[in-house]
A and B are shown apart, each in its own frame.
Chain A
């Protein structure tokens, strides 16, 4: 039951909201659209749900064209950021509503509601009203209302954004468990890169209505297609600076101001444009306790403690770099420390287009 989007274009007036030439979301997959606000991710979800109609293009689910069907005929479930529970109905009434509309028998409705309530641990709340529930409980009820009708497709629009941080982490686990248990396609929308990385099997990174890159979380993190994707993922974000690639005796070098770093021994292919955007992730900037052969001297500008990790801001010959240290650091502000950069982890981008360059 693959979900296929073909040549989807959605415009609001003159403004292009979404343009997706081709996308297949596999049956049973946990698929996430991620991007900053206004990137078209929620609109894409609304198009799949039928709450918006595409300006052109086709949406198919398991070979059936969804375009002509109104939302109530698509057999998809939607979980909203605002929960959107019916305030005048009890939890039981909220859960049974889709089944009542579908004209199921009363006995079936009751057993199905209790089953789902048990699955989500909300059985004791069945006779309460939404206003009497906490945010986490409301979100569970909203999930329950989606699950109860056994849809072919689950759509989530930032379902965890209104929850506080500890609850969000807990609900992430729960969502993963539900996905494994229900064995149904989940299409998930979030602006939170951490949530996207931790939940999804595949991610589409969106910006200005277009998919920037599509892939598994590790792939997006390790091999971003452009500077946007590279800087979108990771806390703290990737370090960027301008440099120049040169093939010299002894290998391939990157030069930036006073910095002269050897990338590879072999003289690989030098790109046509020698000026590049260099990127390296904070965890690949290593503070060394003892002076190593290829270590560089950097000054500590500031240290931010994050529990077991530290974000250390460094000045390396005029270049600002952030390092993510796996443990507490002993140094203090204005200290000079030894730093090594993992040369295999460099990523290079075209300064004009932002696209990644293989070196």
Chain B
């Protein structure tokens, strides 16, 4: 009996360890690399650096354009969230509560569009943005990201809005609200956890997105962090230390956001599973 319990623990520990090393292993490697002096980078052992260096971080932070790129990333992700909300919130409200005849069909077709791999439409988008004259402009990336995030936004918000009982909408109408008033006074406050989790996930998606950002940008004027880091390797050498330091820096904002909104995300993603 005891043996079984011990064995159970052992198996659990092994599996959790496997998952953790799979998920966190690359990040740990980056972390170690970021703090290793350059001359030790290609040596193994030692796994851990004998002395810690901040040279890579200093190099990255003082490199021309890096801060600009960081700012671009923050702007792109924030604007993508805002744009997804501007279109997603009213659309979801209509889909959830206005008894549209084709609501189900609309949601299904939106899901279909999101199934296209992004490589399939990056070419046309590229041409379109050149025609519009906004290539190498962060707004091109913002539009691409928010459009790509819209199906997810619509689906999640529609479900959140459906959770709000019909009688509340009816009561608000009787009390004197127009549809916009209901959105402002009833729906947005009540769906706040949903909005927080959707916003956060869209932010993280946009922050990490690579393909559109690579295709639609050309210079540091509009480049985002993942693209800039990928372009670090020079003609003759790959600056592993700087790449690692930049990656660690790029991870920090999302980790911080998730930690801050952690409880909200969980309550947001599970809301509606059971009536609370």
A residues with CB within 8 A of B? 49-51, 70-72, 76-78, 80, 82-88, 97-98, 101-102, 145, 149
Contacts and interface: CB of A to CB of B under 8 A. Distances in A.
A77 B172 CA distance: 11
A87 B181 CA distance: 16
Contacts of A51: 170, 173-174
A102 B176 contact: yes
B176 A101 contact: yes
B186 interface: yes
A115 B173 CA distance: 24
B173 to A, nearest CB: 5
Contacts of B91: none
B171 A72 contact: no
B39 interface: no
B106 interface: no
Contact of B174 (A71, A82, A87, A102): A71
Q: Which of A50, A51, A84, A145 has the most CB of B within 10 A?
A: A84
A86 B165 contact: no
Contact of B190 (A70, A76, A88, A149): A88
Interface string B165-202: 10110111111111001000110011000000000000
B120 to A, nearest CB: 41
Contact of B177 (A72, A82, A85, A145): A72
Interface of B: 165, 167-168, 170-178, 181, 185-186, 189-190
B189 A88 contact: yes
A82 B167 contact: yes
B168 A72 contact: no
Contacts of B177: 72, 101
A80 B170 contact: yes
Contacts, number: 53
Contacts of B165: 82, 84
Given A51-B173, A70-B173, A71-B174, A97 B167 contact: no
- For the residues of B in contact with A, the DSSP-based class is helix
A84 B167 contact: yes
Contacts of B168: 84, 86
B170 A78 contact: yes
B170 A72 contact: no
Contacts of A101: 175-177, 181
B170 A98 contact: no
Given A82-B165, A84-B165, A101-B181, A72 B189 contact: no
Given A72-B178, A145-B171, 4 more contacts: A51-B173, A84-B170, A97-B185, A101-B176
B171 A84 contact: yes
Contacts of B172: 86
16 contacts: A49-B174, A72-B174, A78-B171, A78-B174, A80-B167, A82-B165, A82-B167, A84-B165, A84-B170, A86-B172, A97-B175, A97-B185, A98-B175, A101-B181, A102-B176, A145-B171
B167 A72 contact: no
A76 B170 CA distance: 12
A49 B177 CA distance: 14
B189 to A, nearest CB: 5
A303 B190 CA distance: 53
A8 B82 CA distance: 46
Contacts of B176: 72, 98, 101-102
A84 B186 CA distance: 11
A287 B190 CA distance: 61
Nearest to B175: A98
A274 to B, nearest CB: 52
Contacts of A78: 170-171, 174
Contacts of B189: 88
Nearest to B169: A84
Q: Which of B173, B175, B176, B177 has the most CB of A within 10 A?
A: B175
Contacts of A80: 167, 170-171
Contact of A72 (B173, B185, B186, B190): B173
